[in-house]
Amino acid sequence: MKTEGTDRRPYRRTVSDSLGLLKEQDAMRQARLDALRAEIEHGATSGPGISGDQVFANARKRIAGIAAGATNS
């Protein structure tokens, strides 16, 4: 395979562009992770929570209400 006289600029440009895209993706991923961590922290410090049993009881009531409204239509 002959490499003498081969112009390597297109290859370098491809590698450079690829690295730039990887850096951009990493930055976006980090931003999403930082936002998620901030949301978790906000939830953890926003006050007392409710029990899992209460969450499911509330969900069951809402579902039943939706179902009852759908059958009354």
CB atoms < 10 A from the CB of 59, how many?
A: 10
Q: Is the pLDDT of residue 38 over 60?
A: yes
Q: CA geometry: angle at 36 spanning 47 and 31, to 5°?
A: 145
Average pLDDT over every residue of 12-19: 94
Q: Is the pLDDT of residue 70 over 80?
A: no
Tokens for 34, please give them: 């930082």
Confidence class for position 39, pLDDT limits 50, 70, 90 = very high
Q: Is the pLDDT of residue 1 over 50?
A: no
Question: Mean pLDDT, the chain, as a whole number?
Answer: 89
Q: For tokens 């390597």, what's the residue?
A: 8
Average pLDDT over every residue of 3-32: 90
Average pLDDT over every residue of 65-73: 79
